[in-house]
Structure 1
Amino acid sequence: MTPFRLDGKAALVTGAGRGIGAAIATRLAEAGAQVLLANRSMGVAQELAASLALRGLAARAAPFDATEDGCRAAVGATLQAFGRLDILVHNAGGCPWSPLETLTGDVLEQTLALNLKSCFWLTQAALPALRRDGGRIVITSSVTGPRVAMRDATHYAAAKAGVNGFIRSAALELAPHRITVNGVEPGFVAKDRGRLSEPARKERLVRYIPLGTAGAPDDIAFAMLYFASDQARWVTGQTIVVDGGMTLPESGRVMEETWDDA
């Protein structure tokens, strides 16, 4: 049984259909929280909510889009379902890959809206509920942008660097209300689809992770669970890197030398 209990709490998790978001929603529910799974694809979120309900856990599904109105609707759905909101987890994110030279305004706006702007709209909408007893805001950031760079992802890197700035500034502004704001920066977490799921590309990436494996969604979810818990009541404005040590070497050469020495 997890030591980080969330009994009597209600949580909203965006991007909760698959992968990291599904793991976060599951771990929060297992810790005793009532969880609203907000996801662009309702079918996937409904399936997960139903599977959690079969285990006796409290979960509902609702649609999510990253507009101002969409964020307010997700918060409203949580309050309607559970009558309260104590934990806001903004996990929805991502971007279409695009070289900087051919990046379009639509792709840039889509990326900023999903990853960064929605932090503002979700927080604004949730504040009246979070102020009641002091609340938790936890955001999925990334090592890409704040710590490392990746080709064809300049727009994503800029958005996630902005997320880290949001976390620090919002934490300071909301501290008088006993609301904490923290984030998790995932490294390479294995996926079953997308460009980084290609076996050859995945194998190359894993070679540069000191702990020798890709991450799993639960690796991120358990860090989120800590930030959502009462045990993290005195932690705010922080991000934790969960990346298997990927950002530790100064270059690929350092890792290659490690292999040679092993």
Structure 2
Amino acid sequence: MATVEKQQYNDVAIEYLTLADVPQTKLEDELVKLGLGDCAGFRVLDLGGGSGGHARHALEAGATSIDVVDVSEQMLQVGKDIEAKNGRDVINWYLADISKPISNDISSLPQEGYDIVMVIWAFDHATSIKELEGMWQNVTFYLKPGGRFVGVRVGNPRSKSAQSGDYGARFDNIKEIADGVRYDCVVLTKPPFSFEATSMKTSYTGSFEIPQKYGLSDFKYVQAEDTEIVKKDADYWKTFLEDPHFVAFTATKL
């Protein structure tokens, strides 16, 4: 993962928490919760988990042990501080680049030791196919046979829902790069902030060729129509539903 990715997340670690206030994050949270389902007694690994927002969803769903791996020291520290204030010591925090073999840096994470592995948005920081493959290799290295993968990735980066900002964020300055696109994600909080992202075409067009190569199957999209936030105001979400700029999905390890 490019050095700029690590630095920019260190720079916006606190601001990133304000993402929770925007509509698309509220939808994202519901989608992830649906993907996680019942996690009672599960051990969960969150790759690129930042400050642990979705790790806490897994805790709420019954997980008993959660490991978060991220490239940003500051994002991890924010997560540690939140958990300390909550008086909990269930989430473990690890610094590593998830586009490279994590086992080279962290020996304590058990191979095929996790009931669920999550990657929420981190695929959209792979700056090359090699980095994207590295992330998927880590997923299958740590996921138990029969275990569940839960992910969120960019859908159509040029969709109206991505450009309008109606859902609390927009993609600006989209540029073609080798095998994908680079763009600025502008989060419309007060004040707004932005960070750079990169999405590989094989990912945002919905190909499962890479994860299938590494042993995942039974891919299913989590339907936005099934979330309470969409059910309550389907008209508001109409543009998103017609051409979503992000999707949540699950898979199973063979």
For normalisation by structure 1, the TM-score amounts to 0.48
**Bigger fraction of residues in strand:** 2
For normalisation by structure 2, the TM-score amounts to 0.49
**Bigger fraction of residues in helix:** 1
Question: Which of the two has higher C-alpha Rg?
Answer: 1
Say which structure, 1 or 2, has more relative contact order (CA 8 Å, 6+ apart). Answer: 2
